[in-house]
Amino acid sequence: MSDVTVVPTDQRVFIDKQSPRAYRALLATAEAAREVAAEAGLDRRLVELVNLRVSQINGCAYCLHVHTRAAIREGETTQRLGVLPAWRDTEVFSDRERAALGLAEATTAPADAALQEAAYGVAREVFGEAEISAVVWVAIAINAFNRVSILSKHPVRPAAVR
């Protein structure tokens, strides 16, 4: 038995609503990260893969919901979305995608120095400095949004049946 008191979802503070100025600043950071990614030549599908992988690691249901839809809109396949958690064990991701996913994971778990060094080394082989910077900024932004949604317990409601 744990001494942890669970706060019911309906009693959580939606920190994005409570502190809209801070949330707008986070939105601006995410927009800037997307712009940096586009300027560096990273396509939106790759950005969404990074968003999804980071959200999977963090267990953010709301961001997974949002970015799965965005990835599908960008042409991502259900096969690749389904195997994304096991991307290292598949042949469906390009070298650039693999480098971006590794770098995103290293950004999400920076305390793992070995993972960080290995991921950075792989990224350095396939990306220029602008691309590395862009991937890291995208991962930083989605990590921040994950924390907003996880701590606020943003709900994911069932989709309407068509």
Per-residue confidence (pLDDT) for residue 9, from 0 to 100: 76
pLDDT block averages, 10 residues each, the chain of length 162: 74 93 97 98 98 98 97 98 98 98 96 93 97 98 96 89 66
**CATH value at residue 90:** 1.20.1290.10
| pLDDT of amino acid 159 | 81
Residue 61 lies in a domain: yes
pTM comes to 0.92
Helix axes 44-58, 61-73, angle to 10 degrees: 160
**Range of the structural domain that residue 145 is part of:** 19-152
The answer as to whether 119 is a domain residue is: yes
**Helices (DSSP H) in the chain: which residue ranges?**
15-18, 20-39, 44-58, 61-73, 78-83, 95-108, 113-126, 129-152
- Residue 161 lies inside a defined structural domain of this protein: no
Count of structural domains within the chain: 1
Asked whether residue 85 is domain-assigned, the answer is yes
Q: Which residue has the tokens 């960080």?
A: 116
37 within domain boundaries: yes
